[in-house]
Amino acid sequence: MYGWHLKILRVNLTTKKVTQEDVDPKIARDYLGGRGWAIHYLYKEMDPMADPLSPENILIFATGPLTATPAPTGNRYMVVTKSPLTGALAHSNSGGEFPTWMKRTGFDMFIFEGKSPEPVYLFVNEDQVEVRSAAHVWGKDTHETTDILKAETSQDARVACIGQAGENLALMAAIMNDKHRAAARSGVGAVMGSKNLKAVVAMGKKNPKLYDSAKMVSLSVNTSKNVGVDVKKGSNMRIYGTSYVPQVTNTLGILPTRNFLQGTFEHVNNIDGDALKNQYLIRHTPCYRCPLSCGRLTEVPDGKYKGKGEGPEYETISSLGTGCGVSDLAALLKANYLCNEYGMDTITTGMTIAAAMEMYEKGYISEEIIGMPLKFGDHDAMIEMIRKMAYREGFGNDLAQGSYRLAEKYGHPEIAVTTRKQEFPGYDPRGSQGMGLLYATSNKGASHMEGDVAYEEVFGVPVKENPLTTEGKPELVKHFEDSFALMDSSGLCVFVAIRYAFSKDRMILPERLAEMMNFSTGANYTPEEALKAAERVYNLERMFLLKAGSTEDTLPYRMLHEPLPDGPAKGKVVELDKMLPEFYKLRGWDEKGVPTKEKLMELGLPL
């Protein structure tokens, strides 16, 4: 076959033994690549009940059949493991440049087993594979680590690594690649830290062979051109990145504000895309082979928040910004830079601090416990909490467990806005009912990147759905969940894939991705087969989830029982009970959300 190398690199960190394995072409086709291949191996090889921070957990880096091809944004990889934050499944996605360099090593996937007795990093240059000491970079942030490891290997290499948060097993620790890009959610960085694996350094020239190179290049050029025309017309994504979104969600009354106590933020103009563009933006920055260029290089040139880096993106603005009631943009940029340097998911970090702020203001946690006042809007306190979380210092040790465990410890679990113990991203589902169903059923806990129906409910792409109604939302959520599994498995970025498939016809996306993957692999997918493979991936993830003991599809108390107090969605709660039974039927699951024997047989999954 083409597109895939059909090669896996397996690293036993306990023994330092490194082996190479071939992938069965049928498995390759049936599970697509990336997220799909990873769950196949994770489900087959590890006990879902294993402690996520034990040597028994498996950590997988996986590329897709479009990674390192001419496909525009064909430059994504997945980190798949058991999550220490949720106790269930983690599959985090990242771009930048590392994924392409990883694929060019000649391997599609790296599997890490066991635990090294001392800090190490993996260096892969095609057939040169070495597990090297990382003692000299242990304790250093992600930027320092990247610079040091490139200096001692090659400036042509690319680095994925953890910072202090991952080393200290903070449950919101991310894996950072190319300094600014993150496989962020679910604590994947803590798993890497638990294995004493500081970094992965990849380089090589083994681009995958393409089944039909001419057609692949032609399709990719046309896709980039079409997306580029849209961008040059003044696309918000090109001008602002995702920092334009706060104004959209604020207008709809679904912008997380002060730990979801409100849906609108009165100071949104201080921290939105225009403010960022006018005050701190240097230039936009692309991932490798990206026509959108939605990243933002920014700088606070002086003062106590002086710093330089990428971001913040929308999710950071809505968590560390509005979620914490913070309206100082320079402080928000500093918080964003620190999260990237320490290696921390900004969503869980911000919303955990927001929960602590609410608990402090309500008298549930004292200043004596925290070590300082912690009120909504106190940007200096927020920045200090980030540092404490990364080092698990003082009250930061509680914060490093995430908001669910924090609120439970201090006797007020209703304060935590989580699903499967993972914090909500930047869309309040009380005013976006489909997002509520998505959060409740997501295999990895609350995540817009599990199947972002906000594209239709919030942005009207490709069609506008009424965000306040439950009608049609089970079908919409299932379609988006399967489509995102397809995109994550292919190695293509969601942002371009969605724009590539603007149409009211929901089969357009699988049609176009199937075409692109066929030019890459020669696997001859029909659109229906590609979507069925994605459904297979989603259901196997569900089986892992259930075997890990995460069996309840629900939402936190606030979403179900506390109506939004302001904005266009005022008075609304999530009407989950109206959507969940129909969703289960559409999925082929029983009334408890368990895939039926018939569904498993239909998908060729183990019974």
| Cα–Cα dist 591/401, whole Å | 32
**pLDDT, tens digit (0-9, with 9 covering 90-100), for 287-322:** 998 888 889 999 999 999 999 999 999 999 999 999
Long-range residue pairs from 145-150, CB within 8 A, at least 24 positions apart, any chain: 145/198, 145/199, 146/178, 146/179, 146/199, 149/121, 149/199, 149/201, 150/201
Q: Residue 312: is the preceding peptide bond cis (ω within 30°)?
A: yes
Find the mean pLDDT for residues 584-597: 98
Average pLDDT value over all residues in the chain: 95
Q: Which two tokens stand for residue 261?
A: 């106590």
Looking at residue 513, its pLDDT comes to 93
**pLDDT, tens digit (0-9, with 9 covering 90-100), for 74-83:** 999 999 999 9
Report residue 238's pLDDT band, with 50, 70 and 90 as the boundaries: confident
Judged by DSSP in three states, 277 sits in: helix
Looking at residue 230, its pLDDT comes to 56
Terminus-to-terminus CA distance in the chain, angstroms?
29
| Cα–Cα dist 256/420, whole Å | 19
Looking at residue 90, its pLDDT comes to 98
Looking at residue 502, its pLDDT comes to 65
Report residue 234's pLDDT band, with 50, 70 and 90 as the boundaries: low
Angle at alpha carbon of residue 447, lines to 442 and 452, rounded to 5°: 90
CA atoms within 13 A on the CB side of 452: 19
Domain boundaries, the chain: 7-203, 237-403, 423-603
The edge-to-edge listing of strands for the beta sheet with 77-82 is: 17-22, 7-12, 109-113, 59-63, 77-82, 89-94
User: What are the E-state strand segments in 83-210?
Assistant: 89-94, 109-113, 120-125, 128-133, 158-161, 175-177, 181-183, 197-203
**pLDDT, tens digit (0-9, with 9 covering 90-100), for 379-432:** 999 999 999 999 999 999 999 999 999 999 999 999 999 999 999 999 999 999
Report residue 237's pLDDT band, with 50, 70 and 90 as the boundaries: confident
Torsion of CA 218, 221, 223, 229, to 10 degrees: -140
CATH class of 237-403: mainly alpha
H/E segment holding residue 399:
helix 396-399
Find the mean pLDDT for residues 247-273: 98
User: What are the E-state strand segments in 235-364?
Assistant: 281-285, 295-300, 307-310
Find the mean pLDDT for residues 51-68: 98
Looking at residue 229, its pLDDT comes to 62
| Cα–Cα dist 227/499, whole Å | 7
Find the mean pLDDT for residues 544-572: 97
| Cα–Cα dist 203/19, whole Å | 18
Q: What are the two backbone dihedrals, phi and then psi, of residue 197, each rounded to the nearest 5 degrees?
A: -100, 105
Give the residue, 269 or 497, on which the prediction is more confident. 269
Q: Which two tokens stand for residue 361?
A: 């203001």
Q: 10 Å Cβ neighbour count for 148?
A: 17
H/E segment holding residue 329:
helix 329-342
8 Å CB contact between 217 and 70: yes
Q: 10 Å Cβ neighbour count for 527?
A: 17
DSSP letters, 17-46, are EEEEEEPPHHHHHHH-SHHHHHHHHHHHHS
Report residue 489's pLDDT band, with 50, 70 and 90 as the boundaries: very high
8 Å CB contact between 357 and 349: no
Report residue 254's pLDDT band, with 50, 70 and 90 as the boundaries: very high
Integer CA distances (angstroms), 31 to 97, 466, 532, in order: 24, 34, 10
Pick the CATH number of 7-203 from 3.30.2310.20, 3.30.930.10, 3.30.465.10, 3.60.9.10: 3.60.9.10
Q: Which two tokens stand for residue 241?
A: 């990145």
> Looking at the domain 423-603, which fold is it?
1.10.599
Report residue 1's pLDDT band, with 50, 70 and 90 as the boundaries: confident
8 Å CB contact between 163 and 341: yes
Eight-class DSSP state of 1: -
Indicate if the pLDDT at residue 280 is higher than 90: yes
8 Å CB contact between 11 and 18: yes
Looking at residue 232, its pLDDT comes to 54
* Cβ neighbours for 382, distance < 8 A, ≥ 6 positions apart: 320, 324, 326, 331, 335, 353
Looking at residue 294, its pLDDT comes to 87
| Cα–Cα dist 318/245, whole Å | 9
Looking at residue 534, its pLDDT comes to 98
Looking at residue 100, its pLDDT comes to 98
**pLDDT, tens digit (0-9, with 9 covering 90-100), for 442-469:** 999 999 999 999 999 999 888 899 999 9
SS3 of 136-161: CCCCCCHHHHHHHHHHHCCCCCEEEE
Judged by DSSP in three states, 593 sits in: coil
SS3 of 221-242: HHHHHHHHHHHHCCCHHHHHHH
Q: Look up tokens 């580029």; give the residue.
A: 228
Q: Residues of the chain with pLDDT > 90: what percent?
A: 91
8 Å CB contact between 404 and 413: yes
Find the mean pLDDT for residues 188-213: 98
Looking at residue 39, its pLDDT comes to 98
- Closest to 322 in 3D by CA, of 380, 241, 386, 256: 256
Find the mean pLDDT for residues 20-45: 98
Residue count (the chain): 607
Q: Identify the weakest region by mean pLDDT among 271-285, 413-427, 503-517.
A: 503-517
